Amino acid sequence: MNELLQILGSALWFILPAYVANAAPVVLGGGRVIDGGRRFIDGRRIFGAGKTVRGFLAGLAAGTLVGMLQGIATGSLSHYLALGFLLALGALMGDLLGSFIKRRLGIKRGSAALGLDQLSFVVVALLAASPLAPLGWEKILTIIVITPPIHLATNFGGYKLGFKSRPY
Ligand code: CTP
Ligand code: MG
């Protein structure tokens, strides 16, 4: 039990910059869209209207800031700063990849794609951070298992608070 809680805590601590990077655009995003309204060869939008430049940059800044705070708290500033940046960049790229795949499948912007919506950001974040912080399988598995319920719960909270128009 104690050991389980410890793995859970260290998994959350590790992945926190990715969570913040993924959530920040919901509040801070808007304006110019990343794909500039352009369409892919299938005639559908590349990423769609839900992916904005400001959201991307705000997520990158917010996730990196969390890494910086973790670095200050632990006395390993450069390590956590780099880790925060990589986790945030990976999370945002993974989120873009998720939207790219959704558009290719003909799923409209904002419509749900169970699994893809909750996991694409965290999988790419883990990949991006792996050269700097190789993780054990327990931690990777823990992160993969806890992320979908946390993502759904925070999205529901964002909906209740009026930041999102949909509860998922
Ligand atoms: N957002 C943003 N820029 C990003 C990512 C997200 O501005 N790079 C904002 C948008 O307002 C978006 C909201 O955060 O609507 C929620 O993000 P997400 O659920 O990932 O986008 P969806 O609108 O659901 O679009 P998609 O179907 O492509 O997932
Ligand atoms: Mg969505």
b/e per residue 2-41 (b: at least 16 CB within 10 A)? eeeeebeeebeebbbbbbbbbbbbbebbeeebbbeeeeee
Ligand 1 binding pocket includes 67 (Cβ within 6 Å): no
What number is the average pLDDT over the span 99-109?
A: 98
Residue 70 predicted with pLDDT over 90? yes
In DSSP notation, 112-153 reads: --TTHHHHHHHHHHHHHHTTTSPPPHHHHHHHHHHHHHHHHH
Q: How confident is the model at residue 28 (pLDDT cuts 50, 70, 90)?
A: very high
Mean model confidence pLDDT for the chain: 97
Identify the helix (H) or strand (E) that includes residue 17.
helix 2-28
Q: Give the amino acid at 74.
A: T
Ligand 1, pocket-test mutation among 19, 22, 26, 119, most atoms within 8 A of CB: 26
Ligand 1 binding pocket includes 120 (Cβ within 6 Å): no
Please, are residues 124 and 147 in contact by the beta-carbon 8 Å criterion?
no
Q: How confident is the model at residue 25 (pLDDT cuts 50, 70, 90)?
A: very high
Residue 58 predicted with pLDDT over 90? yes
Q: How confident is the model at residue 1 (pLDDT cuts 50, 70, 90)?
A: confident
Model pLDDT, residue 57? 98
CA–CA separation, 134 and 150 (whole Å): 23
Ligand 1 binding pocket includes 121 (Cβ within 6 Å): no
